[in-house]
Structure 1
Amino acid sequence: MADETPNRAHPADRIEAIVRSDGSVAPALGEPLVPVPAELVELAQGLLYERCLHVGFVWSTSLAREHWQVDLIREMLPDGPACRVHAWRLRELAYGLSPRELDIVTLIAAGCSNRDIAEGLVLSLRTVTTHVTNLMRKLGATNRAQVGATAYNQSLLRFPLPVEDIGALPLTLARIAASKGRRRDDGLLSPRTPVQSPLTIGALIPRAGRAADDGNAMLRGALLAVEQINARGGIRGRSLNLLPVGVDIDDERSLRGGLDRLIRRGVEAVTSGYFAHQLVAIDRSGVEGIPFLHSSASAATERFVSADRDRYRGVFQFCPPDADYAPGFVKHATDLRAAGLWRPGSPRLMVVQQSDWAIVDFGVLPAQRLGERHGWEVETVSVADGRTGSPSNWSDAAVEAARRRPAAVMLASYFVEDHAAFMAEFLRRGADALVHAVYAPSIPEFKHRLGDGAEGIIWATTTGTYSDRVGARFVEQYRRRFGVEPGRSHAGLSFDRVEVLAQAWGQSDPSDFDAVAARLLETRHRGVNGPYSFETPGGGTLGLGSTSEDPSLAQAHTVFQIQDGQDVLIHPRIYAAGRFRAPPWTR
């Protein structure tokens, strides 16, 4: 039942419930029954009425002064559409925002000018300007558009909305709020209508801690695929549901709890982003036998799976491993030098790498051997590895890198904040080395955080969205559906992963996990991030140039450069959309 006193302190720190169009509430499978505040029930009804797929926001209670992060997600149940309410209490607002700043960032995301905000919130224009300046600093943005994009990407939208005329705001949340509590009876399936039960994909999404912005891209990419498959009629008449669970990327307990909730829910498969303790999730999925489709890009996870492939026969890694990164860095530096596009000032290359995840292996040793053959000295700096004399943070690592004066430096971290800290100090010291980053620039937040400092950075990913017609069509569909850019990696991968799973389900009984695993093993799929075929001993995709020379079967190790604020694919040549440019700080 709905809680009729929504503004009192809520007895739980987390809410997982199902709301139907008539306002009835049921616990999610495997979850305890907890009261759902009436306001969230009405918003869930509004989402169903407006036929929206998903909305995320911060719900602020009026009396208790509490803030909850809320996801409302449309699902298809046997008796018709319903809305899953997934909410958790926040100890503090993201980025250290104040409630007033949350109001303002919401209105910026809605396209309001400073004058509009001042009038709507009854503030002086000067006060609003000061707030906007502070917001840009806190969010690492260089303009209002970046503030709005970050707010939308990370669900930093406040409800209740901060102005009364909510219908005037061009936000999905405003549409839902305007229709809250309304019931749509047309086209809904009645309980007496025979229908096959939906197929549910459980998704472990990084929604807390580092990589939360990437988690939003993962969620949207998967939602887009689910929506398109359902529009095509589903899988043999069965619709797909996506059941996301937010997990802290560094917290083992959070990951265990998230996976346990999905297994109790009875999902037919689990998809997963990248997590520090991914081996824990892989092992648990092996015990259950459930298909587990992850994207850790880890040579260590592949070795773990290959050591007992029968036990982990349902585990598949949807990208080539991280061990390709450092050798790829050396190869690209060598190619630029050979082509005369770059004149290195020394024979020294440097890899600055994160050392806080046991499953990460950037391939430094093979890169050093490769470097010797091509006349390079490949040095390493490990950040926060606890050894005496090693840098304790990425700013200190930049100081050390500038002191050694390498010709090029590779930033081997998956996290935007590490890159931002390094680049700020590195450029401040007047360093002129090429910067070759790993993965993090694929996340839209990267350019927002670094601003003009991102221009000229080269970056690579073992799984990147191609710039061909297939990739361009996905980018346009994503942009049209969600109103934001998808980034160049995990949004596309998450879309592809649902499509690959749907193909396997279409050729087997989804409840027969072994049969599904067998079909996945036979996969030949060309997605927006390139080809998928799981032919490595550890159930990973083939990598072009490392485990296969066939571009129809293997994913390319894509190299981009940020040029005029855009990610331009510059390598490999067969997929390139542009050429290397000397970065501004090296000219």
Structure 2
Amino acid sequence: MAEGTWELAAGPVGEPTGSAVHDPELLRRIAAFERSDLESVSFLWHGAGRWARCRIRRGPGAAGSPAATVTLLALDGPPAGLTAREVDVVSLIALGLSNREISSRLGTSVRTVTTQVERLLRKTGQESRAGLGAMAVDRELVRLPLPGGVDRGSGIRVLDLEKLVAGEPSFPWGLRRVSGGRRPLRVGTIALGGPFAADGEETIRGASLAVRDINALACERGRPVEHVVVAVDPLSQESVRAGLAVLVEQDVDAITSSYASAFNPEVFDFAADYGRIFLHTNSWTHSVDMVRSSPARYRNVFQSCPSENAYQAALIAYLRAHPAGRGGRGRLAVIELDGYGCSITGAGFTAQVSEVGWAVTAVARVGLSVRDTDAVAAEALGDGADLVVVSHVSPEAAARLQNALTRARPGQESYHIYTPSLAGFARHLEPGGGGLTWSTVTGRSDDALGRRFAEAYTRQFGVPPGWTQASAAYDQVRMLHTAVSVTGSLRPAVTGDYLRSEAYRGVNGTYLFASPGQFAAGYPYDSTHLGLAQPTLTYRMSGSHQHVVPMSA
């Protein structure tokens, strides 16, 4: 199956005979599109044993040629973990056919179709036939040629195209590959909005900087990058679905994200169904377990950071080295966001801290927005804690809690999980609110690569980056582009195999997805090989200065 972009031309030019662009049935559909009033249409193509995603668009063509372009992306087989027969069934459901009508078209029994529909509902997590049909259209799972064709109007573009093709006897043009550089790599970035907008801003800027750097180096035959950014509030289903629909409409080749899939499982399921490479920094161990337990469904999902287990391990290492714990006299209080992957006081936590000389004196659980921070701080400090751990994903809420601790007890030592890595955290701190420590599983080191990135970011955006998501997003885009450039392919199966077998050194460390869960190992808690892992970093803030604290496992 030939990949690439073609435009209509006044002669039989294109790839050698036998390639996808000379499939007579596909050419008839392109001709039908040219004669229609459709602006764009996307579908799965299955012909001569080949599978591909096909997108036809209107746009400026070469002089003297019709204004339509055709883009093909070869697939190894049916996408979204479906079988060829399941793709047929879900395509016919989108047409509005009953089980009996589907069985007639496919030459099978009604009972068989009923079983297949029930299996599809379970596999896709849909609750109804209407949901299956909508999913098939939204995620471009309708395949052409459609068994039995289309004999009714639908208002669905891909089905309207199939209806038009019945009256299209021949294809009067050829296809000519679009000249110039190679087809761009179209990367979609899911940025967080709503209460997580500070992270989203860092993600957008870091990914955009990577796109700028890549395109500045792209020569005539290089692979440029087109960037599609969607900002979603992960707590709003409507916002998430609207953002994902844009990625489908823009036909992105790969997706990068921070931790939207941690708060909204639909993002994770969408990535599996869409079938393109999905790189995320959702550090939940649950996400790793899903990929490990269903490798076929999630084969293109990669976690570009270690799991949250490293957070607890880093905290234990810090407690072990802390002088207050010597002789078993350390007192530890915890303020944690209830849920959202921020609860660190799970099973075994008390025993673990006890082994290194500490006792848990208080645990205060708070919501996403914290109203009375002074009362929460008083609860945590009530028994004279030597150290207060704060685990909250919102930089504003975490900073307000830190301010309350400082007001209640000036000089109180605190240890945060992740959030001070964000540039927005420091902006909410009151004077005297420094003197704190924190850890992150995806952080920027203060080395030559890290400093060069920070300098470039500051020149581009006028403010310095935080210590985590900006550089993580930068690495994701650069890593994707490297995989596509080295393999010369936009096919997820090819680039996915590359990511699983080759290490990539980025600003935040080394990424290697060789484990069954396809996550980047962390040093020193997942791997003892620093050259093949990302270091779990501990930082200290003293006034306006931040620096990395050397730690051992």
TM-score bracket, normalised by the shorter chain, equals 0.5 to 0.7
Paired position in structure 1 for 2:148: none
2:508 counterpart residue number: 529
Q: Indicate how the Cα distance of structure 1 residues 418 and 522 shifts in structure 2: closer, same or farther if over 3 A, else same.
A: same
Q: Deviations over 1:424-481 (max 9, x none)?
A: 3222222654200111111111111113243211111111110011111111111122
- State whether structure 2 residue 310 is matched by structure 1 residue 324: yes
The residue correspondences of 1:101-500 to structure 2 (distance < 5 A) are 194-206=180-192, 208-233=193-218, 237-275=222-260, 276-337=262-323, 346-357=329-340, 359-360=341-342, 362=344, 364-378=346-360, 381-384=363-366, 394-430=373-409, 433-500=412-479
The separation in 1 between residues aligned to 2:400 and 2:361, in whole angstroms, is: 20
Secondary structure at the counterpart of residue 313 of structure 1: coil
After superposition, the C-alpha distances for 1:507-560 in whole angstroms (9 at most, x for unaligned) are 335432111111111231121111111233321110112210111011111111
Identity of aligned residues (%): 28
Q: For residues 534 and 29 of structure 1, do their structure 2 counterparts lie closer, same or farther at Cα, with a shift above 3 Å needed? A: farther
Work out the CA distance in 2 between the residues paired with 1:344 and 1:476: 45
Contact 1:272–1:294 (8 Å) recurs in 2: yes
| Distance in structure 2 (CA, Å) of the matches to 1:500 and 1:315 | 14
Q: 1:352 aligns to what SS in structure 2?
A: strand
- Residues 349 and 407, structure 1, Cα contact 8 Å, conserved in 2: yes
Q: How far has the Cα of 1:30 moved from its partner?
A: 8.1
Q: CA-atom RMSD, angstroms?
A: 3.1
Give the Å deviation of 1:505. Answer: 0.7
Native 8 Å contact 1:384 1:392 kept in 2: no
SS in 2 for 1:451: coil
In structure 1, what residue type is equivalent to 2:276? I
The answer to whether the 8 Å contact 2:400/2:428 transfers is no
Q: Is the 2:185–2:490 Cα contact (8 Å) retained in structure 1?
A: no
Instruction: Name the SS for the 2:249 alignment partner.
Output: helix
Change (3 A) 1:200 1:463: same
Q: How big is the shift at 1:382?
A: 4.8
- Cα distance in 1 for residues equivalent to 2:437 and 2:184: 43
Give the letter aligned to residue 314 of structure 1. N
Q: Is the 8 A contact 2:255 2:279 kept in 1?
A: yes
Is residue 2:536 matched to residue 1:561? no
What one-letter code is carried by the residue in structure 1 that aligns with 2:190? Answer: L
Go from structure 1 to structure 2 and tell me whether the alpha carbon gap of 1:236 and 1:294 turns closer, same or farther (over 3 Å shift). Answer: farther
Q: 1:384: Cα distance to partner?
A: 3.8
Q: Give distance in 2, aligned partners of 1:263 and 1:252.
A: 17
Question: Does the 8 A contact of 2:199 with 2:469 survive in 1?
Answer: yes
1:403/1:556 Cα in 2 relative to 1: closer, same or farther (>3 Å)? same
Q: Equivalent of 2:530, from 548, 551, 554? A: 551
Aligned 8 A contact 2:406 2:433 in 1: no
Q: Does 1:542 align with 2:525?
A: no
1:300 touches 1:360 (CA, 8 Å); kept in 2?
Answer: no
Per-residue deviation, 1:324: 1.9
For residue 451 of structure 1, what is the amino acid of its counterpart? E
Q: CA deviation at 1:385?
A: 6.8
Tell me if structure 1 keeps the 8 A contact 2:304–2:519: yes
- CA displacement at 1:259 relative to structure 2: 1.7
CA distance in 2, matches of 1:299, 1:392: 30
Q: Number of residue pairs matched?
A: 384
Cα 1:282–1:559 shift into 2, 3 Å: same
Q: Is the 8 A contact 1:411 1:437 kept in 2?
A: yes
Distance change (3 Å), C-alpha of 1:519 and 1:204: same
Gaps spanning 5+ residues in structure 2: where?
1-37, 43-58, 63-176
Residue pair 1:384, 1:393 contacting (<8 A) in 2 also:
no
Using structure 2 for the length normalisation, give the TM-score.
Answer: 0.64
Distance 2:213 2:371 in 1: 46
Deviation track 1:120-158 (CA, whole Å, cap 9, x = no partner) reads xxxxxxxxxxxxxxxxxxxxxxxxxxxxxxxxxxxxxxx
What do the CA deviations read for 1:397-450 (whole angstroms, capped 9, x no partner)?
Answer: 212101132211111112112212212322222265420011111111111111
Q: Show the counterpart of 2:22.
A: none
Quickly say closer, same or farther: Cα 1:500–1:377, change in 2 above 3 A: same
CA distance in 1, matches of 2:308, 2:357: 24
- Closer, same or farther in 2 for the Cα pair 1:485/1:442, shift >3 Å? same
Is the Cα–Cα contact under 8 Å of residues 402 and 431 in structure 1 kept in the other structure?
A: no
Of 482, 492, 495, which aligns to 1:516? Answer: 495
**Structure of larger gyration radius:** 2
Q: Secondary structure at the match of 2:322?
A: helix
Residues 147-181 of structure 1 show CA distances to partners (whole Å, capped at 9, x for unaligned) of: xxxxxxxxxxxxxxxxxxxxxxxxxxxxxxxxxxx
TM-score (norm. length: structure 1): 0.60
CA separation in 2, counterparts of 1:241 and 1:498? 11
User: Equivalents in 1 of 2:39, 2:313: separation in Å?
Assistant: 46
- Hey, what does 1:158 align to over in structure 2? none
**Mapped contact 1:323–1:363 kept (Cα < 8 A):** no
Shift in Å at residue 281 of structure 1?
1.2
Equivalent residues of 1:324, 1:362 under 8 A apart: no
User: Take 2:238 and 2:360, find their aligned partners in 1: how far apart are those partners?
Assistant: 37
Ranges in structure 1 where 5+ consecutive residues have no aligned partner: 1-26, 32-76, 81-190, 575-587
Q: What amino acid maps onto 2:303 in structure 1?
A: Q
Q: Which moved more, 1:465-474 or 1:365-374?
A: 365-374
Check 1:396–1:28 CA distance in 2 against 1; reply closer, same or farther (3 A cut). farther
